[in-house]
Homo-oligomer: A and B are copies of this chain.
Amino acid sequence: MFSPLIKELIESLRCLPGVGPKSAQKMALYLLEREHKGADRLAGALREALDKVGRCSGCRTLTEETECSICADPERDATRLCIVETPADVLAIESAGTFDGRYFVLLGHLSPIDGIGPEELGLDHLDNVVLHNQVEEAIIATNSTVEGEATCHYIAEQLKSKNINVSRIAHGVPMGGELEYVDGNTLALALEGRKTL
């Protein structure tokens, strides 16, 4: 039905997360019918980001600069390091506004099936960072999934052997969460992690 170039555009829009064939078709037609300017900007931004965005030399987050804004900030406490999976996790923790240390972004988690081992996560670079910044405390904030836990365990072992204080962020009932609606696994974690009052 559609001409080859339009079909190719629809197909290639499907690489976006959460975009199925119907949405991709809608997006492609919308861009071509009514949003030439936005589409042009998108094509340019995509090309430029692909060409220039690399890793921060400090925390390995995505940035086109040598150092990201957090690593470049002399006010941040370099001896405290929070280890997260993605740049979005950095944003989430920053929004809490209580952590003044630096980050280390794995950009993924250990997943042997996908060929992601310690090297892909830059764990050798983590060793350098720890040594160079004389890190005293490492807080591991990988996701609470099977892979995230495995990654946490691996990194904890690696860092503990260097005499660093390693901790894991707490898991339990979220603020404002009603016990009735919290799932069993979370409750099990909440019970296990109980604190003496």
Most chain B C-beta atoms within 10 Å of own C-beta, residue among A35, A42, A50, A91: A42
**For residue A48, which residues in chain B have a CB less than 8 angstroms away from its CB?**
5, 8
Binds B, one of A60-68, A145-153, A164-172, A186-194: A60-68
Q: Return the contact of A26 from the options B30, B37, B88 (Cβ within 8 A).
A: B88
Bound-state Cα–Cα, A2 to B105, Å: 13
B16 lies within 8 A of A31 (CB): yes
Known: A48-B5, A69-B1. A35 touches B62 (CB 8 A): no
B53 lies within 8 A of A30 (CB): no
Q: Chain A binding site: helix, strand, loop or mixed by DSSP?
A: helix
Interface size class of A (residues with CB under 8 A): 35 or more
A41 lies within 8 A of B12 (CB): yes
Is A131 interfacial (CB-CB < 8 Å)?
Answer: no
Bound-state Cα–Cα, A62 to B1, Å: 11
| Chain B residue nearest to A47 in the complex (CB) | B43
Q: Return the contact of A4 from the options B6, B15, B18, B64 (Cβ within 8 A).
A: B64
| Chain B residue nearest to A10 in the complex (CB) | B45
**For residue A33, which residues in chain B have a CB less than 8 angstroms away from its CB?**
62, 86-87, 107-108
Is A179 interfacial (CB-CB < 8 Å)?
Answer: no
A23 lies within 8 A of B12 (CB): no
Minimal beta-carbon separation of A16 from chain B (angstroms):
5
Is A90 interfacial (CB-CB < 8 Å)?
Answer: yes
**For residue A8, which residues in chain B have a CB less than 8 angstroms away from its CB?**
45, 48-49
**For residue A40, which residues in chain B have a CB less than 8 angstroms away from its CB?**
50
Offer 6 A-B interface pairs, CB within 8 angstroms, sorted by A: A1-B91, A12-B42, A13-B42, A16-B38, A29-B86, A33-B62
